[in-house]
Amino acid sequence: MTSPLYPTNCVERFLDYVRIDTQSSEESDSYPSTPGQLDLLRMLKAQCEDIGLKDVTMDEYGYVFATVPATSTKADVPVIGFLAHVDTSPEMSGKDVKAVFHRNYDGSDIVLPDDPEAVITAAGNPALAQQVGNDIITSSGTTLLGADNKAGVAEIMAAAEYLVNHPEIPHGDIRVGFTPDEEVGTGTQYFDVEKFGAHCAYTMDGETLGELQVETFSADAVTATFKGFNTHPGFARGKMINAIKVAAQFVASLPQDTLSPETTDGYEGFVHPYMMDASVESTAVKLLVRDFNTPGLKLKEALIEECALQAVDTFPGSSVEIAVEESYRNMKEILDNHPDVRDNAIEAIRRAGLEPAVEPIRGGTDGSRLSFMGLPTPNIFAGEHNFHSRFEWISTHDMHKAVDVIIELCKVWEERATRS
């Protein structure tokens, strides 16, 4: 493993940030969805001011923006940005997180101290094999850790502080941004691209060392609502039409051995029924539809409609309504028009002493939406693993290397600008 090029306090910052409960909520009507997120965002605003960043703002929605002032004498260095979200997943508690160090990791299973049955196995986490000799941070076993995405927050803050303290490093204006509610799908809802004012940005929210993601799923949400007829079950013969049974027939008719999350990987998309609101009168099935291109999405949505209509035909008198809502589209459609955004990141990863791993992400990021909002935004590794669970872990080595990549990326953009 390589030593950091730019020693920083990113680990110490991370430990401070995970102590704040920023779990977001899908049930909230407020924005941000939980008050803990505002606590951390206010802290970050104050810290940005303390380390000497300029143009520090926090708007009514909680977005914190700031600028690392340029040191380059060149006039045409593009403004680039770095982004991370402060919220943690609703799927696992983020309250009273106790970060635990596992020093000089030896390659064995990691037992979490507050629940001896909670074990991060070496066999189930092949990425741990690359971490022998490094320090690993986990939770104590009763909460998530919060590396997703407080690792990215800490790395951006540490890099910004380093750049302010080392004006001999030439770079253009660097924008940093911290956002709420990514985990509940609304992280970019009120993001002001014009105010952020960057040529491009990079989310620091990836997993494996050296990873760069310039492709995401394209995603839609589908709701199939089956209508039946309810009456007293004791007098229902020839009258009742049970919408639950129609919906069950529909779900059973979807492909079982293909096109599901548990049977696909790589560039394969899927259809995923994940929630049902059921009654005899009306049953709604919610499905996630994923593919790496829009035509593939439409084919899968046509399959859903076909299966739904076949289920209705099986139960005369029933009916179905299908609603499709666009979630996000593959950022590659935008990033292909901005090759410098990708190429400069690859060069920065190499300069940090790492092998670039350019792979698709089987999901979406805030960058997916931001790219289509006019801010091309690929995703760079932050080092987080097993996110959304109590088995979450991160390597301090990987955090330091993420900081190296941020600083090298600022230098690459400055070097490749032409005019003095």
* Residues in CB range of 420: below 8 A, 6 or more apart: 73, 74, 75
pLDDT tens readout for residues 131-150: 999 999 999 999 999 999 99
Structural domain boundaries enclosing 346: 10-215+330-415
Of 293, 328, 363, which residue is a domain's last?
328
| 84/203 same-domain check | yes
Are the CB atoms for 183 and 90 separated by under 8 Å?
Answer: yes
| 268/390 same-domain check | no
Q: Residue 363 — pLDDT band, cuts 50, 70, 90? A: confident
Mean pLDDT within 194-206: 97
pLDDT tens readout for residues 230-272: 999 999 999 999 999 999 999 999 999 999 999 999 999 999 9
Stronger pLDDT, 366 or 16, i.e. the higher one: 16
Q: Residue 274 — pLDDT band, cuts 50, 70, 90? A: very high
Neighbours of 317 (CB within 10 A): 12
- Residue by residue, DSSP assigns 307-335 as HHHHHHHHSTT-EEEEEEEEEE--THHHH
- Whole-angstrom distance, CA of residue 142 vs CA of residue 209: 26
In a domain? residue 3: no
| 234/207 same-domain check | no
Are the CB atoms for 162 and 6 separated by under 8 Å?
Answer: yes
Mean pLDDT within 46-58: 98
| 189/256 same-domain check | no
Q: Give the per-residue pLDDT at 78.
A: 98
Check if 182 is active-site. yes
pLDDT tens readout for residues 26-40: 899 999 999 999 999
Number of domains in the chain: 2
User: Does pLDDT of 172 surpass 90?
Assistant: yes
- Whole-angstrom distance, CA of residue 361 vs CA of residue 217: 7
| pTM score, whole prediction | 0.90
In a domain? residue 1: no
Phi-psi domain of 47 (left: phi exceeds 0; alpha: psi -120 through 50; beta: other): alpha
Q: Residue 371 — pLDDT band, cuts 50, 70, 90? A: very high
Of the candidates 21, 173, 182, 291, the residue annotated as catalytic is 182
User: Does pLDDT of 306 surpass 60?
Assistant: yes
* Residues in CB range of 197: below 8 A, 6 or more apart: 79, 175
Q: What is the CATH number of the domain that holds 266?
A: 3.30.70.360
Q: Coil, strand, or helix at residue 75?
A: coil
| 324/336 same-domain check | no
Residue 153's Cβ-side half-sphere holds a number of Cα atoms within 13 Å equal to 32
| 106/203 same-domain check | yes
Mean pLDDT within 352-381: 94
Query: 111: part of which helix (H) or strand (E)?
Result: strand 110-111
Report the chain's C-alpha Rg in angstroms. Answer: 24
Check if 87 is active-site. yes
| 197/54 same-domain check | yes
Of 328, 358, 382, which residue is a domain's last?
328
Per-chain mean pLDDT for the chain: 96
User: Does pLDDT of 358 surpass 90?
Assistant: yes
Q: What percent of the chain has pLDDT over 90?
A: 95
| 261/305 same-domain check | yes
Q: Residue 285 — pLDDT band, cuts 50, 70, 90? A: very high
Mean pLDDT within 12-36: 96
Of the candidates 21, 87, 205, 347, the residue annotated as catalytic is 87
Q: Residue 1 — pLDDT band, cuts 50, 70, 90? A: low
Q: Give the per-residue pLDDT at 419.
A: 61
In a domain? residue 107: yes
| 227/184 same-domain check | no
Q: Coil, strand, or helix at residue 110?
A: strand
| 179/196 same-domain check | yes
User: Does pLDDT of 57 surpass 60?
Assistant: yes
| 125/267 same-domain check | no
Q: Give the per-residue pLDDT at 88.
A: 96
Q: Give the per-residue pLDDT at 120.
A: 97
Tell me which amino acid residue 254 is.
Answer: L
Are the CB atoms for 384 and 237 separated by under 8 Å?
Answer: no
Residue 183's Cβ-side half-sphere holds a number of Cα atoms within 13 Å equal to 27
Q: Are strands 218-227 and 319-328 parallel, antiparallel or unpaired?
A: antiparallel
| 67/165 same-domain check | yes
Mean pLDDT within 146-159: 98
* Residues in CB range of 363: below 8 A, 6 or more apart: 216, 217
Are the CB atoms for 90 and 28 separated by under 8 Å?
Answer: no
